């Protein structure tokens, strides 16, 4: 089974992983392995949520193929945070799922320019279920933000951090795009 948690920045995706961890440890006593990409240095080697105080220790990887190297005989559940930054093939996750592992993946489906982000669209294509979360819109303050928007100047495709981004609903994104103009 592969379940994906996606949505904008501040959409509580990492919190969903923490909730899965708590449920799994408290109810099933399964062995859980947590992973995150090395490029995400905000909470290095931790799965952390801005909405929760609990942090999970995570094994840092760069490629999905590295996951199987860290699994033990007791591992039954795999949690992956910020998957959009990982490399490799989604087939690695599919193969693990077919071997009986339950896999929970959190990540951004789109960049702040609203284009597919890394490997996330491929992971979503093989997922058994996808949970799309929303966040509070930074402009109108309604809880219907589905988009991440960069308020800083980006010199490359990826700018890791959270202070440079806000969450916007569709109407507020449209307003900002009209003001800023669409890049060609």
**Sequence-distant (≥ 6) Cβ neighbours of residue 67 within 8 angstroms:** 33, 35, 61, 78, 80, 92, 93, 96
Residue 172 belongs to some domain of the structure: no
Domain count, the chain: 1
What is the domain extent for residue 42?
Answer: 2-133
Could you report the per-residue pLDDT of 113-172, keeping only the tens digit for each? 999 999 999 999 999 999 999 999 999 999 999 999 999 887 666 666 667 899 999 999
Residue 27 belongs to some domain of the structure: yes
How much of the chain, in percent, has pLDDT values that exceed 70? 88
Could you report the per-residue pLDDT of 68-99, keeping only the tens digit for each? 999 999 899 999 999 999 999 999 999 999 99
**Catalytic residues, which ones?**
82
The DSSP result for 43-64, as a single string, is TTTEEE-TT-S-EEE-EEESBG
Residue 156 belongs to some domain of the structure: no
Residue 165 belongs to some domain of the structure: no
| Contact status, residue 15 vs residue 51, Cβ threshold 8 Å | yes
CATH number at residue 84: 3.40.50.300
| Contact status, residue 88 vs residue 119, Cβ threshold 8 Å | yes
Residue 143 belongs to some domain of the structure: no
| Contact status, residue 35 vs residue 59, Cβ threshold 8 Å | yes
């Amino acid at each position: 089974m592969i379940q994906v948690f996606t949505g904008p920045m501040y959409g509580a995706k990492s919190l969903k992983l923490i909730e899965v961890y708590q449920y799994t440890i408290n109810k099933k006593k399964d062995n859980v392995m947590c992973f995150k990409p090395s490029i995400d240095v905000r909470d290095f080697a931790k799965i952390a949520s801005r909405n929760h105080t609990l942090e999970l220790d995570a094994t840092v990887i760069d490629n999905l193929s590295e996951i199987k190297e860290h699994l033990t005989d007791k591992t039954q559940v795999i949690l992956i945070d910020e998957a959009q930054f990982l490399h490799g093939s989604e087939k690695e996750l599919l193969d693990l799922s077919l071997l009986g592992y339950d896999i929970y993946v959190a990540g951004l489906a789109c960049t702040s320019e609203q284009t597919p982000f890394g490997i996330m669209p491929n992971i979503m294509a093989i997922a058994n279920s996808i949970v799309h979360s929303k966040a509070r819109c930074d402009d109108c303050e309604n809880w219907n933000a589905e988009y991440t928007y960069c308020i800083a100047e980006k010199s490359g495709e990826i700018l890791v951090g959270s202070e440079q981004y806000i969450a916007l609903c569709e109407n507020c994104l449209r307003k900002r795009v009209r003001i800023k103009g669409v890049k060609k």
